[in-house]
Structure 1
């Protein structure tokens, strides 16, 4: 599409570059009909409260009706929200989104009795109900998952008390969010052109990528000096958040906060510990990469503010959307004809909203409802990063497509633990294709560095975060106090260990813990590292084994949430209870790094 100096209005975007939300609802009037339908179904399910233990049929009817309500409501909400995302200034769809959210609250309230009521049924009685009603076979895994929660579910009165305090318990995250996003103001710094500009969180990484080292240093010091002024307050919010995690774990009779956090996905703590131990063992690889960075930047002393500046001169790669589609299609050919046919359908049948327009939601995502195909929102710019983003989001989309078309609604939704696997496999295959077809050395170095940075940020950095989380939770569980000083000391030790002796670990970075919002969502970041490792292992199998690995991988995509994530990955050929997938991913990193080192020596 031809570029313009100003953003086009929605109406000016050609139809072939817009998604077809008419596939969800042909008109807003049809949407209104489903809203009315859900309101009727809400009254039906309310009437079933107190009856679930009476017979297998009563239990089946309630679960079936819950699925029906959820399925229709999902369609309602997705349509309204995605219409709003097309143009957030459109008052019609602002209103529809608000109404959909309000309806969601009503649905949640009306169905909230179901799980507690099932948990209140004695095990033997629940077994008899299942045996008496063959239709409940469909819900066997769901009921198993609900009853698995029983040892950690309290009495109705105690659960009611915990529900009442949930808003209070979210205070640490809320307070940090307000401080971090609303109240903190950063100073002005001088940019590359000598202009005074305000430092913001959004601009920070851009400044760290500056070729002007003075700009990098000034932004780095200004950011952490600002956080330093609030370090005791932020230490208090983080401490309160950790204490909340420990409190809930103890009240619900988990042996630790880590165990409580992993219980939902049925993940053994050894998976978490294996990740940290294996990355620790392979830190010399990270140190080699840091050493190469220092060498290629030609610095006598590498500082923490030198870790984001590109070490390869940027290669001008203008990639129009149609070229990106063609390249991705070719890169994903190893996934076979079945995958390729669906991918083609996604590119040609109104799944993707391609270009930016006035009022459109920024960024990129893949989303959709079970009843229709998935969708992808893009704001496509003609560069390498956007081509990778498109491949990434189509990985999510095809995972959803295969899951939704294979699994019943009950088990279609895959869990967060495996959510990034399909998207990262696509990125890995795209990178493999580009490296296989690129002959220009400068372009090749640029691609290698792009991939190595993905490893550094997703595997090494997220594992360092995971280790920090584990450490501070264990300290609270042992009755130790967390202070700004103790948090900074622990964080510094990790930075020294992970980055090695070729970087000078500036004292400012000791405060980095104070600006990471993920630490308020406990034991979450490790999933980035495990997902990337699993995807890299699968990608290697697909490239090296061919058809057998592809068949296993498609089986994984089609499995949705029909089993626990560890089991689904095992069947695909990746055992995350072992260290092997992590080692395989790090072997890929080693190979890429070795080639980068060779090319750097040749260039020198």
Structure 2
């Protein structure tokens, strides 16, 4: 496995042990159909409580338990269908199942939409009384407190039902983008280092950009971005639709801006977002210095955007088969203790992971699953150093999910998006520490140092650049602007020029990069990569320095799920994101690493 010279495999050609075990969710599609119908039935049962949600504490408990049962079942139906569709987006059977799953979710959202508005008809004193007299409600105390915190943004039952009906239509921009980007787009064939034909795919684009052969890098870069350029008006229309959707929901819920509406879902002050952008903008000097080092190390007269991914150290070519990558990840995460490692290895051996790229498979990597399923991971594993870290990263998500759902009841079994990138990145930081400590060769050490700096560049700087772009385009539309392809290209190119500095030739092609970023459809998601990375740097340092106490706090963090506000969950683990300290100290470390590399080059 993993030999890419023969081109991309069909899914049937891949060994079962390298494919995720979705059969453990539904052994066949007939069982999925049964749950689909059962969910429809439960949805009807929920509507019978309309108008009586808070008639007594016992009724309120019945409604909340029934809602949990319905949502839990629906998640299984939706997630299974989506993951099946992601295995091969050319299969119309699973596209249809995924569409039906999304339709079902929207219908159920609509049918259950009366619950929160009816709960909010209670006075807080009545709610307190209900919590005292009905023991079973105590588990919902935090959930109910959060709902009351959003009282001014919850609409009438009729308006909430109308918004819920909009769900399917509102997802259209993202769905169109996904189909265009994953199924329909076709990149050109270029020559690799050995002059063999290779078709560019989402999965091999970054490995091609890491090539030591500059001609290969340039051809891959131009091949991808010229393709996006040809479709830029369509991509601009889908992104414009998504931004307008976010603004519509913010206005409907009486928020002053789309960013406030998005962040308020997790009780995050907008100042956390703005402080991040400001902190990174104040620390661009270190990034510009890093670009100078890269230019010097590569021996180039001009540094171009297609020179960003190739390793600075020319003589090292770390190629790691997946079986070795698993062992390496497990060794790197040993500081997290025996329980963590035992579960991690169980995940490796019981088919949590869909490992290799196949034709039609969704690009990239993610962790998914439900409260009842294994915490699955989708990879497109190529034998690069970057992919070892991707494995550690996605398993960090899945381990977080595992600890949350095995500790918390369903209502708190997930975790806030604000916390979503922390466990994954802590894994990467610990793995990097392990590799740097155990490396024997100076060149390899320099290679790893370069990789760590790349993590900072791509996770703190690049994601903050994305966050700034996202904030700016929403503001532009909120102030009456229209997102044309030329506006998006111009805005995006200027940001690249600011972030990478005068040593970088910011090629015209990069102006179209916004078109290939799925995260711009996730409603202010990307800033959390940067805050998450900063938190992870802090947590990993605490784990390595303080040992058992820090590990206990950290495992407590993984087990907390959604049982408290994310800022509080993180504070208990030892990181306070209401201050600029975590971001500032991460950027300070970046500056130190840049200086260290400067001496070694």
Q: Which residue of 1 aligns with 2:140?
A: 139
Q: Which residue of 2 aligns with 1:439?
A: 440
Say whether residues 1:279 and 2:258 are aligned partners: no
* 1:8-19 correspondence to structure 2 within 5 Å: 13=15
**Are residues 34 and 154 of structure 1, via their aligned partners in 2, closer, same or farther at CA, if it must alter by over 3 Å?**
closer
Q: Which residue of 2 aligns with 1:461?
A: 462
- Distance apart, 1:582 and its partner CA: 1.2
Q: Which residue of 2 aligns with 1:451?
A: 452
**Any idea what SS the aligned residue of 2:367 has?**
strand
**Are residues 97 and 310 of structure 1, via their aligned partners in 2, closer, same or farther at CA, if it must alter by over 3 Å?**
same
Q: Is the 8 A contact 2:89 2:183 kept in 1?
A: no
559-568 or 318-327: which moved more? Answer: 318-327
- Distance apart, 1:289 and its partner CA: 1.0
Q: Which residue of 1 aligns with 2:310?
A: 309
312-321 or 30-39: which moved more? Answer: 30-39
Q: Is the 8 A contact 2:357 2:380 kept in 1?
A: yes
- Distance apart, 1:346 and its partner CA: 3.1
Q: Is the 8 A contact 2:182 2:363 kept in 1?
A: no
Deviations 1:29-81 (A, max 9, x none): 87777667656544433322222121111111110122223334444555666
**Any idea what SS the aligned residue of 1:253 has?**
coil
Say whether residues 1:257 and 2:258 are aligned partners: yes
468-477 or 564-573: which moved more? Answer: 468-477
Q: Is the 8 A contact 2:22 2:80 kept in 1?
A: yes
- Distance apart, 1:182 and its partner CA: 7.7
CA distance in 1: counterparts of 2:2 and 2:466, whole angstroms: 43
Say whether residues 1:296 and 2:297 are aligned partners: yes
Q: Which residue of 2 aligns with 1:70?
A: 71
CA distance in 1: counterparts of 2:2 and 2:520, whole angstroms: 43
- Distance apart, 1:280 and its partner CA: 1.2
Q: Is the 8 A contact 1:413 1:561 kept in 2?
A: yes
- Distance apart, 1:484 and its partner CA: 5.4
Q: Is the 8 A contact 1:291 1:502 kept in 2?
A: yes
Say whether residues 1:397 and 2:398 are aligned partners: yes
Q: Which residue of 1 aligns with 2:550?
A: 549
**Are residues 95 and 463 of structure 1, via their aligned partners in 2, closer, same or farther at CA, if it must alter by over 3 Å?**
closer
**Are residues 12 and 394 of structure 1, via their aligned partners in 2, closer, same or farther at CA, if it must alter by over 3 Å?**
closer
- Distance apart, 1:320 and its partner CA: 4.2
Q: Is the 8 A contact 1:334 1:546 kept in 2?
A: yes
CA distance in 2: counterparts of 1:11 and 1:216, whole angstroms: 29
CA distance in 2: counterparts of 1:488 and 1:380, whole angstroms: 31
Q: Which residue of 2 aligns with 1:340?
A: 341
* 1:235-250 correspondence to structure 2 within 5 Å: 238=239, 241-250=242-251
Q: Which residue of 2 aligns with 1:498?
A: 499
Say whether residues 1:474 and 2:505 are aligned partners: no
Say whether residues 1:154 and 2:147 are aligned partners: no
CA distance in 2: counterparts of 1:395 and 1:317, whole angstroms: 22
**Are residues 475 and 374 of structure 1, via their aligned partners in 2, closer, same or farther at CA, if it must alter by over 3 Å?**
closer
| Alignment coverage as a number of residue pairs | 599
**Are residues 504 and 547 of structure 1, via their aligned partners in 2, closer, same or farther at CA, if it must alter by over 3 Å?**
same
- Distance apart, 1:536 and its partner CA: 1.5
Deviations 1:73-93 (A, max 9, x none): 444555666677778899998
**Are residues 322 and 155 of structure 1, via their aligned partners in 2, closer, same or farther at CA, if it must alter by over 3 Å?**
closer
TM-score by length of structure 2 reads: 0.84
* 1:558-577 correspondence to structure 2 within 5 Å: 558-577=559-578
Deviations 1:396-439 (A, max 9, x none): 22211211121111101112221121111112111111110111
Q: Which residue of 2 aligns with 1:522?
A: 523
- Distance apart, 1:236 and its partner CA: 6.1
Q: Is the 8 A contact 1:208 1:308 kept in 2?
A: yes
Deviations 1:493-540 (A, max 9, x none): 322221112123334444544554433443221111111211111111
CA distance in 2: counterparts of 1:522 and 1:2, whole angstroms: 35
**Are residues 91 and 514 of structure 1, via their aligned partners in 2, closer, same or farther at CA, if it must alter by over 3 Å?**
closer
- Distance apart, 1:387 and its partner CA: 2.9
Aligned residues: CA RMSD: 4.1
**Any idea what SS the aligned residue of 1:558 has?**
helix
Q: Is the 8 A contact 2:203 2:363 kept in 1?
A: no
Q: Which residue of 2 aligns with 1:420?
A: 421
- Distance apart, 1:23 and its partner CA: 5.7
**Are residues 373 and 294 of structure 1, via their aligned partners in 2, closer, same or farther at CA, if it must alter by over 3 Å?**
same
44-53 or 395-404: which moved more? Answer: 44-53
381-390 or 575-584: which moved more? Answer: 381-390
33-42 or 514-523: which moved more? Answer: 33-42
Q: Is the 8 A contact 1:465 1:525 kept in 2?
A: yes
**Are residues 36 and 386 of structure 1, via their aligned partners in 2, closer, same or farther at CA, if it must alter by over 3 Å?**
same
Q: Is the 8 A contact 1:13 1:357 kept in 2?
A: no
Deviations 1:341-378 (A, max 9, x none): 33343344554555678998776543334245534455
CA distance in 1: counterparts of 2:217 and 2:387, whole angstroms: 25
Q: Which residue of 2 aligns with 1:596?
A: 597
User: Which protein shows a greater Rg?
Assistant: 1
TM-score by length of structure 1 reads: 0.84
Q: Is the 8 A contact 1:10 1:86 kept in 2?
A: no
Q: Which residue of 1 aligns with 2:55?
A: 54
CA distance in 2: counterparts of 1:110 and 1:388, whole angstroms: 42
Q: Is the 8 A contact 1:314 1:446 kept in 2?
A: no
* 1:94-173 correspondence to structure 2 within 5 Å: 104=105, 107-159=108-160, 162-163=163-164
**Any idea what SS the aligned residue of 1:308 has?**
coil
Q: Is the 8 A contact 2:259 2:270 kept in 1?
A: yes
CA distance in 1: counterparts of 2:383 and 2:194, whole angstroms: 26
299-308 or 98-107: which moved more? Answer: 98-107
CA distance in 2: counterparts of 1:261 and 1:14, whole angstroms: 40
CA distance in 2: counterparts of 1:467 and 1:125, whole angstroms: 44
**Any idea what SS the aligned residue of 1:554 has?**
helix
CA distance in 2: counterparts of 1:28 and 1:241, whole angstroms: 32
144-153 or 316-325: which moved more? Answer: 316-325
- Distance apart, 1:461 and its partner CA: 0.9
CA distance in 2: counterparts of 1:19 and 1:9, whole angstroms: 12
